[in-house]
């Protein structure tokens, strides 16, 4: 199956030429690139979150294979959904799914279901692809859409992904696509988001899950981040770096109702 873009022309330009120009506004060409295990990257429209996403991914030595975990905003399909065959189309080009890696992940846990319904209109994974394509055009990926679960389920999926990567025997980058606090004042958003970011920097998925629920932090990719952290720790992660934190008000001028964006590297 070829999955067509759902938000081209809305979250980012539908024209390849215009899309490249938009990405080039935000890429850090001077960034020193590192081998990274995991990334937290935002997924709003490029106007608001593109700089944070691009600056963060600019620092990554992009490998041949990537797993992108994104939250389920539309509520369709299985709670944990993987698309294991085909390709995703973007204005830049098609990106093939690594069917072998997807198959290994599916063999490691019964929580993830192979299906397409949750993937077709979901933007959280899609918006990551053009920026990655700009940085490297010859990668394959596995898309996993994550809905609500408990921390034990997120950890099970994280361990399954880590085990799959170990069996796959090739370098794989895990991206957790997530925006932070939604539609609160910039001051409140920063206070709440700092609690979540602090947990991520400590590589503590249990604390992240607990704080998000205890403090009502509307971080849409909490599950994706918990899974990514679990997998990265199993694969040897020891450190994390906050690349950038910002909010939509810095673009729109409305600081009463913002969405927060964080770019974080897991090393």
pLDDT in tens, 87-140: 999 999 999 999 999 999 999 999 999 999 999 999 999 999 999 999 998 999
127-177: pLDDT as tens digits? 999 999 999 989 999 999 999 999 999 999 999 999 999 999 999 999 999
Secondary structure of residue 143 in the 3-state scheme: strand
Non-local CB neighbours of 191 within 8 Å, separated by 6+ positions: none
- Average pLDDT of the residues in 246-261: 98
How sure is the predictor about 266, in pLDDT bands with cuts at 50, 70 and 90? Answer: very high
**Using H for helix, E for strand and C for coil, what is the string for 188-245?**
HHHHHHHHHHHHHHCCCHHHHHHHHHHCCCCCCCHHHHHHHHHHHHHCCCCCEEEEEE
Query: What pLDDT score was predicted for residue 100?
Result: 98
Express as a percent the part of the chain with pLDDT over 90. Answer: 99
Angle between helix 151-168 and 99-108 (nearest 10): 130
pLDDT band with cut points at 50, 70 and 90 for residue 224: very high
Contact status, residue 73 vs residue 124, Cβ threshold 8 Å:
yes
Q: Where are the domains of the chain?
A: 2-266
Q: What percent of the chain has pLDDT over 70?
A: 100
pLDDT digit string, tens, across residues 29-86:
999 999 999 999 999 999 999 999 999 999 999 999 999 999 999 999 999 999 999 9
Q: In this structure, which topology does domain 2-266 adopt according to CATH?
A: Protocatechuate 4,5-dioxygenase; Chain B (3.40.830)
- pLDDT tier at 215, thresholds 50, 70, 90: very high
């Amino acid at each position: 199956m070829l999955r067509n873009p759902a938000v081209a022309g809305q979250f980012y330009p539908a024209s390849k030429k215009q899309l490249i120009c938009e990405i080039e506004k935000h890429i850090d060409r001077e960034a020193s690139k590192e081998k990274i295990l995991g990334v937290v990257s935002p997924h709003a429209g490029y106007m608001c979150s593109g700089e944070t996403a691009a600056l963060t991914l600019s620092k990554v030595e992009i490998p041949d294979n990537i797993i992108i975990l994104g939250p389920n905003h539309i509520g369709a399909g299985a709670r944990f959904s993987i698309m294991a065959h085909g390709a995703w189309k973007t204005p830049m080009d098609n990106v093939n799914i690594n069917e072998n890696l997807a198959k290994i992940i599916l063999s490691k846990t019964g929580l993830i279901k192979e299906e397409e319904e949750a993937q077709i209109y979901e933007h959280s994974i899609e918006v990551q692809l053009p920026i990655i394509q700009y940085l490297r055009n010859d990668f394959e990926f596995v898309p996993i859409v994550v809905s609500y679960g408990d921390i034990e389920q997120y950890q099970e999926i994280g361990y399954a992904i880590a085990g799959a990567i170990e069996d796959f025997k090739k370098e794989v980058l895990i991206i957790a696509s997530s925006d932070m606090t939604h539609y609160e004042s910039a001051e409140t958003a920063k206070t709440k988001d700092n609690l979540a970011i602090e947990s991520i920097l400590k590589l503590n998925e249990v604390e992240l899950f607990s704080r998000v629920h205890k403090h009502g932090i509307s971080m849409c990719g909490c599950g994706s981040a918990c899974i990514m952290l679990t997998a990265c720790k199993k694969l040897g992660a020891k450190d994390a770096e906050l690349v950038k934190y910002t909010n939509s008000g810095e673009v729109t001028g409305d600081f009463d109702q913002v969405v927060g964006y964080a770019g974080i590297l897991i090393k």
